Structure 1
Amino acid sequence: MGLTGFRERILKLRAEQAKSIPSRVFFNHFFSIIYCIDCNEEKYDLKKIPFYNGIKIKNEKFNIEEVRKLLWNSWSTEYAYRIGEKIDNDDYYKFSLHWNFPQAYYSVYLSMTAFHETQGIANEQHEKSIKLFGNSVKDKHYPSAISFYTSGLKDEFEYSGLPNFKGFPKENSVLSKIECLEDAELQLATFLKTTRKKNAEDKRSRLQKQNHRDFRNAKGEFRKSFKKEHWDIIFKTIPITSVFNLLYRLRIKANYRDIESFVNADIDFKSFHSSLGQLIYYLNFIHEAYIVKAIGIAEYEKILKAFPNHLNEETALKRFEENIKPLE
């Protein structure tokens, strides 16, 4: 092989490796979330949360049928996600990402909306629902295991719920191995930071299409360069960035072009699938427990038992028996 051919091979290899980096980063980030949850000894002890103890139905027009439909949709979607565990095929894990990402998001979104229904705040606007979740996290309505978030203006982000995070080191690699809680929280802080920045960039793009008056130059055109003062106008309108923003970001990546970077990546697809499944399981546990607290265990059991048992025996039924019943 000539020198030219060798160089071409090296360049091609580097290009392929570069394509896989985003997916390897996402793998690390979601593994970090599960690492932090697993390390939290109080993750199932909801009684220590004052908000949980005071939950009751607040919806004046409450209709339990709406809760049933939302929960059944959530459980059906979670079951569809977990089918891959029964198949246990590496190629399946890889090529199922197109629908796995939306499944993960919608399962937890639906269970959260079912809880919001009991509180009279359910709506069909995803951004509004995510904002409600973020505000609840900020108000300490959720277990500390998933109560991490970031807020603030450009270059002034503040990180909460990550007690071991002390700032970003000079040599911070998002591809580093996670060997301790400090490593995991650093990854989470990075994930929150990049997601908040991306939310701001997406909003800037929407404002540019509108030629928003706040960002016009002297010629009446949308300014090409943004100073901190301009970015801050945008950041002031962006709610805190939480785990739900991370899931929503993953759902958006389910389009064909973004998914290709995942499919071509050199990652453990089975572990990625498992980590994401564990996050679905935990978030659904929380909202199901909150629903039980609101409507009562007897009403919840009616909804649970009317659903085909073989579809949720490893998910909702298991959560109810092992983690929710002991809370009552």
Structure 2
Amino acid sequence: MDSTKWELSEPDDEEMKFEVYTNYISGLSYLLNSSYKSIVDQLTNIDLKHTILQNNQANKSEVQKFLNNSWNSERILNSPKELNLDSSFVKFANHWSPVLAYYSIFLCFQSLFLSLGWEKIIEHRSFLDKVSSLINKKRLPFIYPWTHLCWGCSYYKKEKFNFDVNLSEVNKFSPLTNPVFSNESVFIAKILRTTRRKQEEYRELIWKRGGKVKNVDGSRKKIYRLKEKQMISDNIQKTSLFDFLYRLRIRSNYEDADIFFMGTRNQATVINYFRSLTNITNYSLFFIESLIASAIGVNNFIDIANTFIKSSGNYNYGIARRIEKHIDSNV
């Protein structure tokens, strides 16, 4: 087949799905880039030194171990940049990139928990519920956009958000557009609403498989009563952007794995997806690391980071770049 005609052919279902994922990721990346000064200002204005008291009893070797694991995961994520590889390689790296992005954030959170003297939470659903609870109850100083949450039963189309947003605009949003440029709140609300609906669908499936949904005669029910759907939703913790990243991890590695191989004909889209995801990971880690630095002491954190950087040879991404931001912000 002529390559030019192949590139200009109508997008198939796999390609359209990949475009949706890419638009969500690139939009969130754009939002973070445009909010960088705000992110630094928020961290400075919070005065973390007084919000998170330094924990001199923290097991620093354990904190360091999980930070190293987080940074190594991020380094593998960044390997196409480090090796200066072209889009043909990135296309296949994108299959694993959401897994590496999620785990680098997940492991960094484990380090944060340990730095605060808390227990690790290794089971993923429990971990995500814990993070949602921390955001909701404001037990840690989360900052925009990681503060945003969604809850409520999607079947009734009455989801609620902890930020102001025009629901009619959310309803009109198409994931094949990139609305973040015009309305950040609508964009984030759409991400959270879609993620929550998938959470509810998954919980319903588990409930069905457990044999709890049966008719009087013992046969399996095909349709839930409304109160059962509401009950399932009520038992789901409020949905955060970290749930979205976990959903992307599951989609790329299990449910929609083929999309990341077959739905990526446009090289610019391949690169955009990869760069956006590494950027989201970078900003997320910068925020979590700032909390860790406050808990164990900035100098202790910088020592741990420098030890990792020195052991990593010529690595010039991830923490190797963020370390200067941590020093400059004096968090």
User: TM-score, normalization: structure 1?
Assistant: 0.85
Match of 1:159 in 2: 161
Structure 2 CA distance for aligned equivalents of residues 312 and 135 of structure 1: 36
Contact 1:150–1:158 (CA<8 Å) still a contact in 2? yes
Match of 1:103 in 2: 100
Match of 1:196 in 2: 196
Q: Does 1:36 align with 2:31?
A: yes
Structure 2 CA distance for aligned equivalents of residues 216 and 58 of structure 1: 52
- Structure 2 vs 1, CA of residues 32 and 74 (structure 1 numbering), >3 Å: closer, same or farther? same
Trace 1:68-79 onto structure 2 (pairs within 5 A).
Answer: 68-79=64-75
Deviations 1:127-148 (CA, angstroms, capped at 9, x unpaired): 1111121122223421113222
- Structure 2 vs 1, CA of residues 51 and 132 (structure 1 numbering), >3 Å: closer, same or farther? farther
Contact 1:93–1:270 (CA<8 Å) still a contact in 2? yes
Deviates further, 290-299 or 314-323: 314-323
Deviations 1:236-278 (CA, angstroms, capped at 9, x unpaired): 1101111111111111123366122232224511111111001
Q: Does 1:24 align with 2:19?
A: yes
Deviates further, 65-74 or 307-316: 307-316
**CA drift at 1:59:** 9.6
Match of 2:317 in 1: 314
Contact 1:55–1:290 (CA<8 Å) still a contact in 2? yes
**CA drift at 1:32:** 1.7
- AA matched with 2:130: L
- Structure 2 vs 1, CA of residues 121 and 204 (structure 1 numbering), >3 Å: closer, same or farther? same
Aligned partner of 1:237 among 231, 235, 238: 235
Contact 2:55–2:296 (CA<8 Å) still a contact in 1? no
Q: Which runs of 5+ in 1 are unaligned?
A: 1-12
Match of 2:329 in 1: 326
Match of 1:276 in 2: 277
Structure 2 CA distance for aligned equivalents of residues 126 and 327 of structure 1: 32
- Structure 2 vs 1, CA of residues 188 and 47 (structure 1 numbering), >3 Å: closer, same or farther? same
- Structure 2 vs 1, CA of residues 53 and 74 (structure 1 numbering), >3 Å: closer, same or farther? same
User: TM-score, normalization: structure 2?
Assistant: 0.85
Q: Does 1:90 align with 2:87?
A: yes
**CA drift at 1:58:** 6.1
Match of 1:143 in 2: 143
- AA matched with 2:177: S
**Count, aligned residues:** 309
- AA matched with 1:292: A
Deviates further, 85-94 or 172-181: 172-181
Structure 1 CA distance for aligned equivalents of residues 290 and 302 of structure 2: 12
Trace 1:39-54 onto structure 2 (pairs within 5 A).
Answer: 39-40=34-35, 41-45=37-41, 46-49=43-46, 53-54=50-51
Match of 1:130 in 2: 128
- Structure 2 vs 1, CA of residues 196 and 179 (structure 1 numbering), >3 Å: closer, same or farther? closer
Match of 2:4 in 1: none
Classify the secondary structure of the residue corresponding to 1:138: helix
- Structure 2 vs 1, CA of residues 219 and 118 (structure 1 numbering), >3 Å: closer, same or farther? farther
**CA drift at 1:229:** 1.3
- Structure 2 vs 1, CA of residues 168 and 323 (structure 1 numbering), >3 Å: closer, same or farther? farther
Match of 2:3 in 1: none
Q: Which runs of 5+ in 2 are unaligned?
A: 1-8
Deviations 1:289-324 (CA, angstroms, capped at 9, x unpaired): 111100112222231222125365422132121245
Match of 1:115 in 2: 112
Contact 1:289–1:324 (CA<8 Å) still a contact in 2? no
Structure 2 CA distance for aligned equivalents of residues 327 and 302 of structure 1: 14
Classify the secondary structure of the residue corresponding to 1:321: helix
Contact 2:25–2:273 (CA<8 Å) still a contact in 1? yes
- Superposition CA RMSD, Å: 2.4
Structure 1 CA distance for aligned equivalents of residues 49 and 226 of structure 2: 40
- AA matched with 1:134: S
- Structure 2 vs 1, CA of residues 193 and 150 (structure 1 numbering), >3 Å: closer, same or farther? same
State, as a whole percentage, how many aligned pairs show the same letter.
Answer: 23
- AA matched with 1:37: L
Classify the secondary structure of the residue corresponding to 2:129: helix
Structure 2 CA distance for aligned equivalents of residues 55 and 315 of structure 1: 24
- Structure 2 vs 1, CA of residues 116 and 270 (structure 1 numbering), >3 Å: closer, same or farther? same
Match of 1:9 in 2: none
